[in-house]
Homo-oligomer: A and B are copies of this chain.
Amino acid sequence: MKALKISEAVVRRLPVYLQVLNDLRKRDVQTVSSQELGNKLDLNPAQIRKDLAYFGDFGRKGIGYDVSYLIEKIRQILKLDQPLFVALVGAGNLGRALSNYSTYLKDNMKITAIFDAHPSIVGTQINSLTVLPIEALKATVAELNIRVGIITVPAAEAQNVADRFVEAGIEGILNFAPTILRVPDEIRIHHADFTTELLSLAYYLDKEGDELNEPSMD
């Protein structure tokens, strides 16, 4: 059977489902309907059923989804049932904020090394980690079996950090610097530039003023 190609949009919704399901489990909720999930997420229940059907036949008619079972399944699909180690470069405010978030992640994904280029920051502590010099990146990635890199340096330094990650053999990059980075095709890169979210939000404001002049589709 041909491997199923799952759209990016669906993959991006899975962590959101996971978050809601984890909340439900915390409150000892054992089953949930697509209708209830839809209410919580502002998504059409049919959309949710379709998303989850990609991965197997989880739900049962009239009963809904078993919360714990669905959590297990989504974690498997996202490969969160195995440890995944992450390195972060750029120990400024954003880097520190993400490190704090990371300690909340119960999902086997852990920031296990933090690097910075500035001598005044190298050697300081963030949570339980000591900030390492950027020169130690390659050796540390190999030693700690790190597969994902997070970039939280200024835009002008970001490509250099990306190149170092690629050279170190990292498989995926999450880039927070507000710039486009070039990496080889086999490296997966996600951009998490908050300005993109903020600027696209502007588009949706002031709906009454929505007059586009002569929209043309040709």
Q: Quick one: which of A18, A57, A203, A204 has the most chain B CB within 10 A? A: A203
Q: Does A142 contact B (CB under 8 A)?
A: no
Are A199 and B96 in contact (CB-based, < 8 A)?
no
Closest residue of B by beta carbon distance from A9: B9
A–B pairs, 27, beta carbons within 8 Å = A11-B204, A12-B196, A12-B200, A15-B199, A15-B200, A16-B196, A18-B199, A19-B178, A19-B179, A19-B195, A40-B180, A54-B215, A54-B217, A55-B212, A57-B218, A77-B203, A77-B212, A79-B205, A80-B199, A92-B97, A98-B194, A109-B198, A172-B205, A174-B194, A174-B197, A190-B197, A190-B198
Q: Which residues of B contact A176 (CB under 8 A)?
A: 194
Residue of B20, B109, B180 near A180 (CB, 8 A) is: B20
Q: Does A206 contact B (CB under 8 A)?
A: yes
A56 vs B213: C-alpha distance when bound (angstroms): 8
Q: How far is the CB of A136 from chain B (nearest CB, A)?
A: 23
Q: Does A158 contact B (CB under 8 A)?
A: no
Q: How far is the CB of A211 from chain B (nearest CB, A)?
A: 8
Copies in the complex: 2
Known: A94-B97, A147-B205. A215 touches B78 (CB 8 A): no
Which residues in chain A, 1-47, are within 8 Å of chain B measured between CB atoms?
1, 3-4, 8-9, 11-12, 14-16, 18-20, 23, 40-41
Residue of B55, B79, B216 near A206 (CB, 8 A) is: B79
Are A200 and B190 in contact (CB-based, < 8 A)?
yes
Residue of B20, B192, B210, B217 near A194 (CB, 8 A) is: B192
Known: A212-B55, A212-B77, A218-B53. A84 touches B202 (CB 8 A): yes
Beyond the given pairs A84-B202, A105-B198, 6 more chain A to chain B contacts, judged by CB atoms under 8 angstroms and listed by A's residue number, are A11-B203, A53-B217, A56-B214, A97-B152, A174-B194, A174-B197
Q: Does A89 contact B (CB under 8 A)?
A: no
A14 vs B12: C-alpha distance when bound (angstroms): 19
